[in-house]
Amino acid sequence: MARAAVSGRLGGRLTWRGARLVESRDETAAARTLMFEVPDWPGHLAGQHVDVRLSAEDGYQAVRSYSLAAPADGDRIALSVQRVPDGEVSPYLTQDFAVGDSVELRGPLGGWFVWRPAERDPVLLVAGGSGIVPLMAMVRARRVTGSRVPFRLIYSVRSPADLYYADELRVPQPGDGGLDVAYVFTREAPDGHSRPTGRIAVADINNGGWPPEFEPNCFVCGPTGFVEIVADILVALGHDPRRVKTERFGPTGG
C-alpha cells in the first residue's frame, strides 16, 4: 500500500540510497519494469520520479531520472525503463542488469507533477509512448486507495506492440470502475480499431477527455513535441493552463 510520506530526505538533505533489483519483467521489446528493494523507503506520490546513479570502476558516474511506475509496496518500488539506442544507462538497466544487482538512487523527487488520492476533481491523463509510466502510477494509486475520482486516459503509441501494461489496461482491474482508456495508434492499429492511424489531434482530446467546464486536472507526459501539441490543444479547448501539468522527456534520456 502507498504510504503518505513524501520526503526522500534524511535529516533534511537528499541522500543516495542503495537499491537492489528483486524482480523484472519486459513491458515491450524495448522496455523493462524493474522492481527494487530500497531499505527504509519513505513512500511516494503518484507522478514522482527518482534519480538513478551508476558508477564505473574508474569513478565515472552517470545519473538519469526515471518515473516511479506504481505505489510503493513496503520497501519495494517499480521503475519502467525504455531502452534508448546508444544510451549510456538504459541499455545496461534493460539488458545486463540482473536480480541481485544494485544501483544507487535518490528520491522520491518532484512535488508538482503528482496526483494525490484526496483530490476530488476529475483527471485526464494523456500519455505519449513511455510517458505512460508516471500516469500508470496514478491509475494504480487510484486503484489501491479506492478513489472514485473519474479518470480518463488517452494513450498514444506507434503500434500495439509498443503498449506498456497492455493486459492490465485492457482488462479492467478491481477498483478500476470509472477509468476510461482511449488509444491513439500513430503508425499501426490493431484490427477493428476504428480510429485511423495518425498523430494525436484535437478530436482525440475532445472525445477522450473532459469538457473544460468540469475543471479536470490534466497530466500530460511524453516526448517534448508530443507534450507541446497536447498542452496547446488543451488550452485551445478552454482548459485552464494552471490545470495542465506536463512532464517532457528530454534529449538526454538514455
Under the rule (CB under 8 A), what is the footprint of other proteins?
8-9, 12-14, 49-51, 63, 65, 106-107, 109-113, 224, 245-252
Closest distance to other proteins from the beta carbon of 130 (Å):
14
- β pairing state of 151-157 and 179-185: parallel
Q: Which is nearer to other proteins, 164 or 219 (CB)?
A: 219
Single-letter amino acid code for the residue at 165? Y
* 221, three cell numbers: 507526459
Closest distance to other proteins from the beta carbon of 224 (Å):
5
Is the distance from CB of 2 to CB of 141 less than 8 angstroms?
yes
Closest distance to other proteins from the beta carbon of 235 (Å):
12
Closest distance to other proteins from the beta carbon of 38 (Å):
15
Q: Which is nearer to other proteins, 13 or 120 (CB)?
A: 13
Closest distance to other proteins from the beta carbon of 111 (Å):
4
Q: Which is nearer to other proteins, 90 or 246 (CB)?
A: 246
Q: Which is nearer to other proteins, 3 or 9 (CB)?
A: 9
Q: 225: helix, coil or strand?
A: helix
C-beta atoms surrounding 45 within 10 Å:
22
Q: What is the DSSP string of 110-127?
A: -SSS-B-TT--S-EEEEE
With 0-12 / 13-18 / 19 or more C-beta atoms within 10 angstroms meaning exposed / middle / buried, residue 194 is exposed
Q: Which is nearer to other proteins, 16 or 92 (CB)?
A: 16
Alpha-carbon Rg for the chain in angstroms: 18
How far apart (Å, rounded) are the C-alpha atoms in residues 244 and 85? Answer: 31
